[in-house]
A = this chain, B = another copy of it.
Amino acid sequence: MFEVHSGLGFAVVLAIILLSTKVLGLLFRRLGLPQVLGYIIAGILVGPAIFGDFLGFSLLGFESDAYTPLFVLEGEGFSHGTDGLAIFSKIGVLLLMFSTGLETDLKELKNTGLAATLIACAGVAVPMGLGILICLPFRGVVPGLDNIYNCIFVGAILTATSVAITVSVLKELGKISTKLGTTIVSAAIIDDIIGIVVLSVVTGIAKAGTASETLTGFAAFKATPYGTIIMIVAFFIVAIGLGFGVSKLFQWLEKKWPETHRLPIFSLVVCFVYSWAAEEIFGVADITGAFLAGIILSTAHRASVYTDKKLEVNTYTMFAPVFFANIGISSIKFTGLSGMLFVFAILAVLMGLIGKVVGCGVVAKAFKYDLRQSGIAGVGMMARGEVALIVTATAMSAGLPEEIMIMTVLLILVSSILTPIFLKLLYAKEKTEPAPALAEGAVADENAVLESEIAIAEPENDDPVEKE
C-alpha cells in the first residue's frame, strides 16, 4: 500500500554531476570555450568511458563489467541512479527546447526579412547535402553505418547552428545590435526551426524504414513513410490548432493573475503534454513538441517572459548539467573505435564547417554584404552546440550508430574554438560598420531575447567579477 522508494542513490549522483560540471564549465569558460563543452567533458570524466578502460575504475558505476566502479551504487540506489539520469536528461532537453520556443518572437522573425530566412535555408541545405555526400562512401566501412537513413542523420546533425554560442560570441565582440548581427541571430533562430522540422521528418521516415512487419492497424499505418508524413502534418495542424486556444487561455491567465506561480506551472503542463503527444501519438520528436509549445506560449508575452525566467533556474541548477553530462557519461568510449570512424568524423566535421561558411556566406554576398561581412555571416552560423547533441541523441534512438557521437563532439569542439577566433580576426579588419538599420524598439526587444539565450549557455553572466 505504501512503498517508500529511497531515491537517495540519485541524490549523490546529482551531487557528483553538479560539482564536476560546474567546475569544468567554469574552467572551460576561463579558457574562452563554451561551458556546455565543460559539462560534457565532466560527464566523460565521472562516467565509465575513460577511467573505466584506462584506469580500471570509474566514479559512477554503470552496466559494463569491464571495469570496477569506484563508487558503486548498489541495488535500488543503482537503478535510481541510471533511471534518474534518463529522467533528468529528458526533462532537461525538453526544458531547453521549451525555453528556446518561449524566447522565439514570431513578429521579430517576420521582420528580419528574406535575408535571414535564405541564409538559414542555405545554412541547412548545404551542410546537410555535403554531409550526406561524404557519408555515402563510408557505408559498410564505418561499423554500424550501413544505410541511407544513417547518412541522412549525419547530414541532419551538421545542420543546426547553436544560437547560444553565436549570440555569446557576438555579444562579447559588442556586435549583437548591428544590422549584420541581427541578421545572423535571426538566421540562427530560423535555422533551429528548420533543423527540428528536418529532424522530425527524417526520424519519422527512418523509424518507418526500420519498423518490424508485425505491426497492425493504426500502428502499421503510422509506420509507413506515407503514414509518417501524414502524422507529422497532422501533428502540426492539431498542435497549432489547439495552440490558438492555449494561447488565448494564457493571455487570459496573464491578465488576470500576472506573475503568479501558476503561470510557469501550467506552462510546464502544456510543454510536457505537447512533448508526450508529439512522440507517443504522432511519432514526431518530443523536442519538437516542447519547442512548439514554447512558441505557442510566447504569444502570451508577459507570461512567457516570466515563465522563462523562472524555469531557467530549474534548467541551470539541475536539469541542463545532467543532460550535458549524461551525454559524456553514457555515450563516449574512446577505445575500440575504428580508424575509419575517425577519418569519417574528421571529414564530416570539415563538411559541416565548410558547408555553413560557404552556404551562408554566398547567400549573404547575394544580399549585398561585402566579402568580409559575408564571411562574418558564414562564420557566425558555423558554431554548433546543444542542438547538435539533441539531434544526435534523437537520431541514435532511431538507429544511428552510437559511435557517431564522436563526430558531434568533434564538431562542437572545433566549431566552438574556431568561431570566436575567426570572428575576432574578421571584425579586426573592420573600420566602421553602419549602425543597425532596424527600428530602435525592435533591436531593444531582440536584445532582451538574446540576453535570455546567453543565460542558458553562460549561466554565470550575472557574475560581474568574472564577466569579461
Contact = CB atoms under 8 A, between A and B. Distances in A.
A250 interface: no
Contact of A87 (B80, B256, B260): B80
Nearest to A91: B11
A371 interface: no
Q: Name the 3 nearest CB pairs between A and B, nearest first.
A: A5-B86, A7-B90, A2-B402
B7 A87 contact: yes
A269 B80 contact: no
Interface of A: 1-8, 10-12, 14-15, 18-19, 22, 26, 63, 79-80, 82-91, 94, 256-257, 259-262, 264-266, 268-269, 272-273, 275-276, 279-280, 286, 310-311, 313-314, 316-318, 321, 330-331, 333, 393, 396-397, 402-403, 405, 459-460, 462-463, 465-466
Given A11-B276, A273-B12, A460-B262, A268 B4 contact: no
A317 B268 contact: yes
B402 A91 contact: no
Nearest to A465: B257
Contacts of A460: 260-262
B260 A90 contact: no
Nearest to A467: B260
Nearest to A13: B272
Contacts of A14: 91, 268, 272
A310 to B, nearest CB: 5
A304 to B, nearest CB: 15
A1 B462 CA distance: 38
A264 B317 contact: yes
Contacts of A396: 2, 4
B90 A2 contact: no
A330 B87 contact: no
A397 B8 CA distance: 13
Contacts of A259: 462-463
Contacts of A3: 63, 330
A269 B84 contact: no
A156 to B, nearest CB: 16
Contact of A262 (B15, B22, B89, B262): B22
B261 A459 contact: yes
Contacts of A80: 83, 86-87
A275 B8 contact: yes
Given A84-B87, A261-B316, A261-B459, A397 B19 contact: no
Nearest to A4: B397
A266 B83 contact: no
Contacts of A402: 1-2
Contacts of A314: 313-314, 317-318
Contacts of A79: 83
25 contacts: A1-B403, A2-B331, A3-B63, A4-B396, A5-B82, A5-B87, A6-B86, A6-B90, A7-B87, A7-B90, A8-B286, A11-B90, A11-B276, A12-B272, A12-B276, A15-B273, A79-B83, A80-B87, A83-B87, A259-B463, A260-B462, A260-B466, A264-B317, A313-B313, A313-B314
A272 B4 contact: no
Nearest to A277: B12
Contact of A330 (B2, B11, B273): B2
A313 B308 CA distance: 12
B89 A2 contact: no
A272 B88 CA distance: 16
A323 to B, nearest CB: 10
Nearest to A10: B87
Contacts of A89: 5, 7
Contact of A317 (B257, B265, B316, B463): B265
Given A15-B276, A22-B265, A265-B18, A5 B317 contact: no
Contacts of A85: 5
